[in-house]
Amino acid sequence: MSAAYLAAITARRSIYAIANKSSVPDSKIEEIVKHCVKHCPTSFNIQSSRVVVLLGEEHTKLWKFISEISLKGLEGDHKARVESRMSGHAAGYGSVLFFEDQAVIDEITVKFPIYTKEFPVWSTNATGMLQHAVWTSLSLEGLGASLQHYGAKPEIAAAIQTTFGLPSTWTSTAIMPFGDIVSPPAEKVFGPVEPRVKVLKA
């Protein structure tokens, strides 16, 4: 029964060579994202995850300012490497932006102060689960995507917020550029799983 799900998990990869095209209609992408946001779990069912899907010019706008900010002060080879990475992301069809609403985390923390230290960790876990669900779903549709974290830079986080008119309580957790696959990823190398998993039965 789990075979199809496990196959989908196996097939999902980081795809960096993406095109400014999508064989999947925008409406399907929206449906996938909404489904994942609705059904992915959050601690205490607080539903703290937020997502913005950028398509067309909005996607282009995003990678223009991320690139400008990231390239500031860089020179030579380093600048060329970052430039090439940025143009790869910008070349995609769209970007899924993941956030956690800090207002929701603050509210639940006031209600349950005993978990003050845990709520931020659980929030991070929740956004990770959501990212994986969206990534795997896009992959099942044949789209390539990767997971980026440029929103961790305060200047980029501020630009995201103001450019797209988002609430100040939405904290950027990841950015997922996606599009039709231009070239597949290299083969993935795995270490042995056995030392990483223990099954105990008394």
Interacting span for ligand FMN (CB under 6 A) from 35-43, 92-100, 140-148, 156-164: 140-148
Structure tokens that stand for 29 in this block: 């992408």
- Cβ-based nearer residue to ligand FMN, 42 or 146: 146
- Inter-axis angle of helices 3-11 and 118-140, to 10 degrees? 90
Q: Tell me: does residue 82 bind ligand FMN (CB under 6 A).
A: no
Contacts of 92 (CB under 8 A, 6+ apart): 18, 19, 20, 59, 177, 178, 179
Smallest distance, Å, CB 165 to ligand FMN?
Answer: 25
- Cβ-based nearer residue to ligand FMN, 188 or 196: 188
Angle at alpha carbon of residue 126, lines to 125 and 131, rounded to 5°: 100
Q: Tell me: does residue 188 bind ligand FMN (CB under 6 A).
A: yes
Instruction: Determine contact, residues 69/156, Cβ cutoff 8 Å.
Output: yes
What mask of x and - would describe binding to ligand FMN in positions 14 to 43, judged by CB under 6 A? x-----------------------------
Query: Where does this chain bind ligand FMN (CB under 6 A)?
Result: 13-14, 146-149, 185, 188
